[in-house]
Structure 1
Amino acid sequence: QRPRPHLDTKMLAAWNGLMISGFAQAGAALAKQEYVSRAVQAAAFLRRHLFDPASGRLLRSCYRGKDNTVEQSPVPIQGFLEDYVFVIQALFDLYEASLEQDWLEWALQLQHMQDKLFWDPKGFAYFSSEAGDPSLLLRLKDDQDGAEPTANSVTVTNLLRAACYSGRTEWVEKARQILAAFSERLQKIPITLPEMARATAVFHHTLKQVVICGDPQGEDTKEMLRCVNSVFSPNKVLMLADGDSAGFLYRQLPFLASLERKDGKATAYLCSNFACSLPVTSLQELRGMLCP
């Protein structure tokens, strides 16, 4: 006869971002399109209910109302740093799984907004909350990866990926400044920041751009993409150069226009520091390039 416990119906942008990453990565690695579709549906939900297109800002949460409608609180809670970081990571993962450039474009827009709201130009790294909140005495920066990795740990890799997809080297510099800001803790107690330790390795080994030039619907292109996704290569970003010179990716990275399909076949290039490898058209050569 005890009253039923209250059901918490809130949906958080950050936690959904983590879930989207899981579905997108699993869908790509296991070639399970239903997982990628689930991630796409969740990302569309975030854009519809937890994003304000007028201001370009994320919202923290929404709630399930009566008859399974989605409701927002009378005064919506603005997104915190972790909401931006986990959603941006999710959108990069979703682009690599779906190759739909809209997710990539939104990720870069959110990264600009994150920089504007949370970056500390004096002490470097990102504050967990934005300036101007009268309820906060101090703006803090979390320095320990717990059940969730801390936002600054994840954002190092986000910034490196953002730089690869946009050509903006200032994001690489921001990643370096975050690692410098946390360097003493990384050196003395690295076990408290395992995600940032991993991001440090990514930073020093430089992310490689794996570019597949081909028709998205072509079977040879799909085989190359499956090959890339079947190999665990954490120091890479994947992009599809589909030949649409007016598309978002070509506008961000003009060098893509110089990469061509060899003999009319889907062709792969491995690029780093503004230099690309010779073209590769066989799956065996591509696998060897990814696993040197």
Structure 2
Amino acid sequence: NGRLRRSYKNDQARFNAYQEDYAYLIDALIAVYEATFQTKWLVEARRLTDIMIEQFWDEEEGGFFFTSNDHEELITRSKEYSDNATPSGNSVAVDILIKLTHIFNDERYREIATRVLNLLGKAVEKFPGGFGHMLGALDFYLARTKEIAIIGNPESDDTKALLEAIYQSYLPNKVVLVGDPMDTESSKLLPLLANRPMIDGKATAYVCENFTCKEPATSVCELVEQLKA
């Protein structure tokens, strides 16, 4: 059924995965995309996110339950919020939901992240040391996030030069997508890549906020200046 399992042993996967399992894997899939720029990883991240929302989201009070809707019956369904040695499933969920909002231009994800942040606002303010990852997600939520689209062959030198300029800049709140002009499927799946051509046959960067973009940049100097603004 396309859902995750918690454990695997002797060629057998057992037990429904918990919400944190989904959140951690989705976060990893987004990271794999950032390393490879293969759209399939974002497609899978979105699929699992929709399952996570369907199975774990508390529509009445907000927040994600630790166990799924069809988990064995418990006395109470708990929710994990505080960040310890590893971040809580809810903290990671807020972070990935904000990223996916910018990647897919889907405000539904941002609305869910907003409800979690509103739910925990007073607790985070009173005990900030217990919500390290959530505070990072809150910063991402409040920031003027840069949505950066690079149109060009991912293996070409000019594309790599633009990417290097991006990653050498301190931009903690950003999403970066790369679209190969020969890959029309990715531009259909990722709105940030749609209708953004290469200029004069060169790898081209589009620096955007809320899907409103500046003039396309084909040189590293142009791109760096736009990233500073």
TM-score range, shorter chain: over 0.9
Match 2:97 to one of 159, 175, 179:
159
Aligned twin of 1:267: 204
**Counterpart of 2:162?**
224
In 2, are the aligned partners of 1:243 and 1:257 still within 8 Å (CA)?
no
Inter-CA distance 104–220: structure 2 relative to 1 (3 Å threshold): same
Question: Residue 142 of structure 2: which of 182, 186, 204 is its match?
Answer: 204
User: Would the alpha carbon gap of residues 263 and 246 (structure 1) be closer, same or farther in structure 2, given more than 3 Å must change?
Assistant: closer
1:100 counterpart = 2:38: yes
Q: Matches of 2:136 and 2:213 in 1, distance apart? A: 25
Task: Give the whole-Å Cα distance in 2 for the aligned partners of 1:100 and 1:117.
Answer: 27
Match of 1:288 in 2: 225
Unaligned stretches of 5+ in structure 2?
none
* Partner Cα separation in structure 1 for residue 40 and residue 192 of structure 2: 20
Pair 141,215 (structure 1): closer, same or farther in 2 beyond 3 Å: same
The correspondence of residues 132-281 of structure 1 with structure 2, limited to 5 A, is: 132-244=70-182, 246-247=184-185, 249-254=186-191, 256-281=193-218
Cα RMSD after superposing both structures: 1.7
- Distance in 2, Cα, partners of 1:255 & 1:283: 20
1:214-250 deviations in whole A, cap 9, x for unaligned?
1223211122122222333110011012124631x32
- Report the alpha carbon displacement of residue 144 of structure 1 after superposing the two structures with TM: 1.1
TM-score normalized by the length of structure 1 = 0.74
Aligned to 2:12: 72
Say if 2:62 is the partner of 1:124: yes
Q: Give yes or no for contact 1:244–1:250 (8 Å, CA) kept in 2.
A: no
Contact kept in structure 1, 2:165 and 2:220, CA below 8 Å: yes
Equivalent position to 2:21, from 79, 83, 87: 83
| Structure number, greater radius of gyration | 1
Amino acid at match of 1:227: A
Within 5 A, what are the aligned runs for 1:46-61? 55-61=1-7
Distance of 1:87 and 1:109 partners within structure 2: 12
Name the SS of the counterpart of 1:89 in structure 2. helix
- Residue segments in structure 1 that go unaligned for 5+ positions in a row: 1-54, 66-70
Identity of aligned residues (%): 33
AA in 1 matched with 2:119: A
**How does the TM-score come out when normalised to structure 2?**
0.93
Q: Secondary structure at the match of 2:62?
A: coil
Is the 8 Å Cα contact of residues 19 and 66 (structure 2) preserved in structure 1?
A: yes
The runs of at least 4 consecutive aligned structure 1 residues that moved more than 4 Å come to none
Aligned amino acid, residue 7 of structure 2: S
Q: Give distance in 2, aligned partners of 1:255 and 1:95.
A: 15
**8 Å contact from structure 2 (residues 16, 68) kept in 1:** no
Give 2:203's aligned amino acid: A
State the SS of the aligned residue for 1:171: helix
Shift of 1:130: 1.0
Q: CA deviation at 1:201?
A: 1.0
Q: What is the distance in 1 between the residues matched to 2:70 and 2:105?
A: 32
Report the alpha carbon displacement of residue 143 of structure 1 after superposing the two structures with TM: 2.2
8 Å CA contact 2:5–2:15 kept in 1: the answer is yes
2:47 to 101, 105, 109: 109
Q: 1:232 & 1:177 partners in 2: Cα distance? A: 29
Give the Cα–Cα distance (whole angstroms) in 2 for the partners of residues 61 and 134 of structure 1: 16
Q: How far, CA to CA, are the matches of 1:140 and 1:255 in structure 2?
A: 37
